[in-house]
């Protein structure tokens, strides 16, 4: 079972109650903005604690309120691709990729993502598609057991959106990593062949 997530959380007026159980390579969370999709990703990553429930990814329990299991973020092995990419502007692409794992072998990720030629560039000089590839590379270099994508196609034009969708399909096929993908665009879910869960 790749994903077994059953959590509840109250955030202000929002009452989030989610149940996902699937062996699909990509589980897609579909809902309009403000419905708690990013909050759910943050709970999986350990950045936000559920009020109650259980989060199991690839047979590893990350959170279970009953026995009091709550792994800290650095022990969860989660690769998180944020909507706004969150590259460090004062670090080169090479340094961004090495952030958190200085000893990582960059070569396989550089080849997979086609970003070797960007290593000495600065984030401000990258196109939207290039920046998203670097952000995905940084997530992969965290040695993740799961990849989280928070609306990764936001702010990209159509050619770049198609490019990143193709890349995510390739990651699905070549890495075997389970992916939790957040979007408010049903066409993205269809393009990825993901299993859809409505919030």
- Pick from 118, 117, 113: which is nearest to 163 by CA? 113
Q: Would you state the pLDDT for residue 31?
A: 86
Q: Which CATH superfamily is domain 25-47+76-198 in?
A: P-loop containing nucleotide triphosphate hydrolases (3.40.50.300)
For residues 192 and 165, the answer to whether their CB atoms sit within 8 Å is yes
pLDDT at 25: 96
Radius of gyration of the CA atoms of the chain, in A: 16
Tell me the C-alpha distance between 116 and 134, whole Å: 10
What is the reported pTM?
0.93
Q: What pLDDT is recorded for position 84?
A: 82
What pLDDT does 183 receive? 94
Ordered mean pLDDT values, 10 residues apiece, the chain (199 residues):
94 92 96 89 97 96 97 95 89 92 88 95 94 94 94 89 94 94 94 94
């Amino acid at each position: 079972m790749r994903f077994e997530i059953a959590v509840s959380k109250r955030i202000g007026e929002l009452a989030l109650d989610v149940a996902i159980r699937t062996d699909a390579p990509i589980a897609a969370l579909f809902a309009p903005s403000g419905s708690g999709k990013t909050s759910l990703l943050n709970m999986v990553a350990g950045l936000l604690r559920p009020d109650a429930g259980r989060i199991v990814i690839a047979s590893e329990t990350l959170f279970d309120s009953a026995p009091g299991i709550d792994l800290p973020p650095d022990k969860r092995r989660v690769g998180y691709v944020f909507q706004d990419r969150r590259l460090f502007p004062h670090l080169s692409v090479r340094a961004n990729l090495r952030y958190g794992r200085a000893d990582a072998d960059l070569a396989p990720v550089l080849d997979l993502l086609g970003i070797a030629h960007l290593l000495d560039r600065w984030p401000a000089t990258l196109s939207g598609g290039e920046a998203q590839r670097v952000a995905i590379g940084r997530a992969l270099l965290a040695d993740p057991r799961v990849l989280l994508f928070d609306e990764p196609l936001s702010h990209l034009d159509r050619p770049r959106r198609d490019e990143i969708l193709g890349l995510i399909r390739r990651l699905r096929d070549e890495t075997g990593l389970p992916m939790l993908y957040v979007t408010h665009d049903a066409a993205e879910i269809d393009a990825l062949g993901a299993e859809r869960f409505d919030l």
